[in-house]
Amino acid sequence: MSEQDGVSRKRKVRGGNNASGGGEAVYGLGLIGAAIYFIQHSLSFWGVIVGLLKAIVWPAFVVYELLKNFFG
């Protein structure tokens, strides 16, 4: 076995899955946008905290409403 074969084998092991980067970027942009939206509409410090929490979990609310409307 040559040294180059060992290097290519290490790259395959460390490579991982490169296909999942797009979804994370979209979620990150959605998180930032939701945080800005909820913070702009808050009137107090605790409103900002609640807005940040809502920004983190907003996809769950969207999926719930979509499923509720789809299945009745």
**Rg of the chain over CA atoms, in angstroms?**
21
The pLDDT assigned to 22 comes to 76
pLDDT digits (tens, 9 = 90+) for 16-65: 555 566 778 888 888 999 999 999 999 999 999 999 999 999 888 889 99
DSSP tag of 17 = -
- Cα–Cα distance for residue pair 2/10, rounded to 1 Å: 13
Q: Identify the pLDDT of residue 38.
A: 92
Spans of all domains in the chain: 3-71
Please give the distance of CA 35 from its chain centroid, rounded to a whole number. Answer: 13
